[in-house]
Amino acid sequence: MTQIRETQEALEKEMLRERWIPRNLPKPRFRALGKEETKDLFQAYFNNKMTIILLMLQKRNPTPDSLASLKAGVFLEDLYHHMLRSEYQQKYGRVFKWLRHFFRRFPYVKPVQKRKAIEYLGLVYQMFGFKLKLSI
């Protein structure tokens, strides 16, 4: 009985080794991104997310889409907590707080609040050294 158990354990170990140890596979070659490549990737990511947010705000009769509003708020929160310089966090913390609150209530907001949100999004662009090329 113990001999069978030992054989089973040996087979299981062999199977695990076979499963988890890749053989004859080329080793991946990773190259660290340079400063310019990283900046370009961040700018593309930033512009994509901000475009979606600006398109949401431009709709004449927006429908309640809690997922899109939630994603906008989470994106802005990530920008604030993880990608914004600390001196800007202190200076512009209320801007991000206002925008997060705005997207919690969107689309049930006033036109004045929409204009203020667009103005604040322009400030977010400036904080990251980009320019909002669209005048809405």
Domain count, the chain: 1
pLDDT tens digits, residue range 22-37?
566 666 677 777 888 8
Residue 43: inside a domain, yes or no?
yes
Q: Is residue 57 part of a domain?
A: yes
Q: How many residues does the chain have?
A: 136
Q: What is the pLDDT of residues 46-57, one digit of tens each?
A: 999 999 898 888
In a domain, 14, yes or no: no
Helix axes 35-58, 111-127, angle to 10 degrees: 180
Residue burial 121-133, b: 16+ Cβ < 10 Å; e: rest: bbebbebeeeebe
pLDDT cut 90: percent of the chain above it: 21
Q: What is the pTM of this model?
A: 0.70
Three-state secondary structure string covering 67-120: HHHHHHHHHHHHHHHHHCCHHHHHHHHHHHHHHHHHHHHCCCCCHHHHHHHHHH
- Residue 77 within a domain: yes
The tokens describing 24, both together, are: 């004859």
Cβ 96 vs Cβ 80: under 8 Å: yes
Domain encompassing residue 93? 33-127
